[in-house]
Amino acid sequence: MIAVGRDLDHDGDAMARLAERLGLPFADLLDPNEVALVLEYRDGRLSVSDRRDRRARPVSVGIDRVLQRYASLPAPRRGALGRAIGKRTRTVVDATAGWGADLGLLVAMGLRVTAVERSVVVAALLADGLNRLRHSTNVRGRFRMPRLMVADAIGYLADSVDAPDCVYLDPMFPPKRKRSALAKRPLRVLRELVGDDDDRRRLFASALTAAGKRVVVKRPDDAPPLEHGADESYAGKLVRYDVYFTGRERI
Ligand SMILES: C[S@@+](CC[C@H](N)C(=O)[O-])C[C@H]1O[C@@H](n2cnc3c(N)ncnc32)[C@H](O)[C@@H]1O
């Protein structure tokens, strides 16, 4: 289970408020064998530490670091993701924000992005990462600050009034046996926090109705598409972006 840690270098009241808001217990009040993951501040970053593996580095949202990688912003839309998003796209809903890695790439491309995340724990990590981005002096004024919505994107998209040009989806999938052994730590931690997104096809349907122009779905390179009938596909390193244009008959 996940619990909140009491940090020596962080305001105790703030941690108590965080624990209450997220409905999480404090780790030190539990049997240590019950606590696998701990939410705590490490080097000023809200992070998830794995108590079962002391050598493992804590995981936090690194969106500030993603943007700092670029010498100039906005970044050109050249790679597989950029081509899948399309040159004319201006507004994107990243409906599965997770660790915010893709969100960082979308923001770097100069897009106006709304990030949606339904796990309150993951959303708290994202909010912390976005706060760092807001105060990051290296990139200040060179990107549009994304908006974070803590919501189920299926309902959020159904209720949205202004259609975004693009809805971007990267739902969790059950791991393949071979892959799971190799899966990167952030993804493994995320899977422990949120499980598999079994309603991903409903999310796709909602995205296709809500998007003004296209839905982009990220998939492992060797996995079948989330839905058949993709209009375009762009292969990246170990992943593929399937593009579905809106307003087309799909059988
Ligand atoms: C594979 S992760 C996304 C990783 C992300 N693209 C990144 O670059 O870090 C999937 C995330 O989407 C969230 N998610 C899945 N379905 C959702 C939905 N219907 N509404 C909101 N969030 C959703 C999950 O909670 C999880 O955090």
Q: So what's the pLDDT on residue 178?
A: 56
Measured from the CB, is residue 115 less than 6 Å from ligand 1? no
pLDDT band at 108 (very low <50, low <70, confident <90, very high): very high
Distance CA 93, CA 104 (A): 13
Residue 228 corresponds to which amino acid? H
CA dihedral 79, 225, 232, 157 (to 10 degrees): -90
Ligand 1 site-directed mutation target among 109, 172, 239, most atoms within 8 Å of CB: 172
Rounded average pLDDT over 115-138: 96
Rounded average pLDDT over 159-177: 89
Q: Residue 74, preceding bond cis, omega within 30 degrees? A: yes
Distance CA 20, CA 211 (A): 36
Q: So what's the pLDDT on residue 13?
A: 83
Measured from the CB, is residue 98 less than 6 Å from ligand 1? yes
Percent of the chain with pLDDT over 90: 74
Distance CA 76, CA 46 (A): 31
Q: So what's the pLDDT on residue 8?
A: 60
Enumerate the CATH 3.40.50.150 domain ranges in the chain, comma separated.
63-245
Measured from the CB, is residue 219 less than 6 Å from ligand 1? no
User: CATH 3.40.50.150: does it fit domain 63-245?
Assistant: yes
Measured from the CB, is residue 59 less than 6 Å from ligand 1? no
Q: How many CA atoms lie within 13 A of 88 on its CB side?
A: 4
Q: So what's the pLDDT on residue 138?
A: 84
Q: How far is the CA of 59 from the centre of ligand 1 (A)?
A: 16
Instruction: Return the biggest CA–CA distance within the chain.
Output: 58
Rounded average pLDDT over 3-25: 85
In the block, residue with structure tokens 């009491």: 6
User: Hey, whose CA ends up nearest to atom 2 of ligand 1?
Assistant: 98
Query: For 14-23, 153-162, 203-212, which range has the lowest pLDDT when averaged over its residues?
Result: 14-23
pLDDT band at 247 (very low <50, low <70, confident <90, very high): confident
Ligand 1 atom nearest to 153, measured from its CA: 20
Distance CA 219, CA 221 (A): 6
pLDDT above 60 (res 179) = no
Rounded average pLDDT over 118-123: 98
